[in-house]
Amino acid sequence: MISCLVFVQMLGENLYPLVVQLEPDHAAKVTGMLLEMDQTEVLHLLESSESLKAKVAEAMEVLRNVAQQQQQQQQQQPSNPPRNQLASLSLSDDS
């Protein structure tokens, strides 16, 4: 019997080259995201290029949304000079 981890690794090894063709710059991240899906769904992606394209596009949309949210949060936060950051540090555990 094949272990679950070995099976997921095998799925990833088969899925990654297909994802590289669609999104070469983000293939590793997208492959990891797809491998979080149910294994039977991942097997379906290996068999259906249209389903794979749709899921890769969906994953890229999620990545773009996360990047946009992070950028907005960074713009909203006031930049603290290092001196102010050091002043707020505490050496005791009771802070």
Q: Which residue has the tokens 């992070």?
A: 70
- Provide the CB-side half-sphere exposure for 76 (13 A, CA): 6
* Residues 45-57: tens digit of each pLDDT: 999 999 999 999 9
Residue 95 has a pLDDT of 46
- Contact between 31 and 11 under an 8 Å Cβ cutoff? The reply is no
Q: Is the model's pLDDT at 34 over the cut of 50? A: yes
* Residues 15-25: tens digit of each pLDDT: 999 999 999 99
Residue 31 has a pLDDT of 97
- Provide the CB-side half-sphere exposure for 31 (13 A, CA): 22
Residue ranges and CATH numbers for the domains of the chain are 9-73 (1.10.1900.10)
